[in-house]
């Protein structure tokens, strides 16, 4: 039995990339993992990978731009599983990932990127957390992880809205943690290292070295180790995944050219 056998987790935006890796990492620890995404085929594939890894994968089609769909997923978890121990807010939208690797000035960045990053990468995290909080409060504890970025404190590429959204997410994390502190629910922001998702590999420039990047499953293993630990003392903080991995004894997993990411 894994460390999280019997625990229920929800990973948003888990149809590919970072979200898929987080879901699989939780599955390796034995968790039941509900995974969301906009297409049934993609979330079904992630759910199967979770089950193959040793957990129980459950696919839930959900567009995180639609509040009602988010609430429906949380209601389904309550009806069918009766508990929620871990929420990982990962859903985001970056229309042009290659901008992360350019020096494009902000006045040449489309306002649509601002809207996408704030509506999906920030607002949807608020909606999912608000929907999950009552269940965690009723159980006397839980863990909410907001997938953020070091872009909250240092510019990454050209995407001005990206860093602003991540800074806002970290502030929201701290404030949510204060509200949930009396209920022993931990809320923290996690900053993954450069990660070899297919999209990041495709967008990488000549000077980038993906072999120094972590696999998406690495962040999932860090989240799983965190969930299995006495994590409440970390509530309200923003932490780097590699630093947390060192503390929790999680070995990094680096990309190799023959891997798909």
Give the per-residue SS3 of 66-97: CHHHHHHHHHHHHHHCCCCCEEEECCCCCCCH
pLDDT surpasses 80 at 100 = no
Residue-wise pLDDT tens digits, 24-60: 999 999 999 999 999 999 999 999 999 999 999 999 9
Residues carrying an active site annotation: 162
The sheet carrying 238-240 orders its strands as 56-61, 32-37, 8-11, 86-89, 142-147, 185-191, 238-240
**Residue 67 included in any domain:** yes
Q: Output the six-digit token pair for 182.
A: 């009396």
Average pLDDT over every residue of 3-20: 96
**Residues composing the chain:** 261
Q: Output the six-digit token pair for 34.
A: 């509900």
157-174: b or e for each residue (b if 16 or more CB lie within 10 Å)? bbbbbbbbbbbbbbebbb
82 — phi, psi (to 5°)?
A: 75, 5
CATH number of residue 135's parent domain: 3.40.50.720
Average pLDDT over every residue of 230-253: 96
Of 196, 181, 260, 221, nearest in space to 22 by CA: 221
**Residue 254 included in any domain:** no
pTM of the model: 0.93
pLDDT surpasses 60 at 259 = no
Residues in Cβ contact with 46 at an 8 Å cutoff, skipping those fewer than 6 apart? 14, 15, 16, 19, 20, 23, 24, 35, 37, 57, 59
Residue-wise pLDDT tens digits, 107-139: 888 888 889 889 999 999 999 999 999 999 999
**Residue 104 included in any domain:** yes
What is the span of the domain harbouring residue 214?
8-160+169-248
**Residue 87 included in any domain:** yes
Give the count of domains, the chain: 1
Which helix or strand (DSSP H or E) is residue 259 part of? none
Of 39, 64, 153, nearest in space to 117 by CA: 64
Of 62, 118, 110, 126, nearest in space to 92 by CA: 118
**Residue 69 included in any domain:** yes
Least-confidence region, from 57-66, 147-156, 165-174? 147-156
**Residue 178 included in any domain:** yes
Least-confidence region, from 116-125, 147-156, 176-185, 251-260? 251-260
**Residue 261 included in any domain:** no
* C-alpha–C-alpha distance, residues 180 and 120, integer Å: 23
pLDDT surpasses 50 at 261 = no
Q: Is the Cα torsion angle 46, 122, 220, 95 positive or negative in sign?
A: positive
On the CB side of 103, CA atoms within 13 Å amount to: 0
């Amino acid at each position: 039995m894994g460390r999280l056998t019997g625990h229920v987790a929800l990973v948003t935006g888990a149809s590919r990339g970072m979200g898929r890796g987080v879901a699989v990492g939780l599955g390796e620890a034995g968790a039941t993992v509900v995974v969301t995404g906009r297409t049934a085929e993609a979330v079904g594939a992630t759910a199967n990978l979770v089950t193959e890894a040793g957990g129980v994968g459950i696919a839930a089609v959900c567009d995180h731009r639609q509040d009602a769909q988010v609430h429906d997923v949380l209601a389904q978890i309550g009806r069918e599983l009766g508990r929620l121990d871990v929420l990982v807010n990962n859903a985001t939208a970056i229309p042009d990932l290659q901008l992360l690797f350019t020096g494009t000035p902000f006045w040449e960045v489309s306002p649509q990127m601002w809207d996408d990053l704030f509506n999906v990468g920030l607002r949807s995290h608020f909606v999912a957390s608000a929907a999950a909080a009552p269940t965690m409060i009723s159980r006397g504890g839980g863990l909410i992880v907001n997938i953020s970025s070091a872009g909250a404190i240092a510019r990454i590429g050209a995407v001005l809205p990206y860093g602003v959204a991540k800074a806002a997410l970290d502030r929201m994390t701290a404030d949510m943690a204060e509200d949930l502190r009396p209920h022993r629910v931990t809320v923290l922001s996690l900053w993954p290292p450069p990660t070899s998702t297919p999209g990041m590999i495709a967008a990488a420039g000549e000077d980038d070295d993906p072999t120094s990047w972590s696999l998406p499953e690495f962040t999932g293993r860090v989240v799983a180790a965190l969930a299995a630990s006495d994590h409440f003392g970390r509530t309200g903080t923003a932490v780097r995944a590699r630093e947390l991995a060192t503390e929790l004894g999680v070995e990094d997993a680096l990309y190799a050219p023959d891997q798909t990411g």
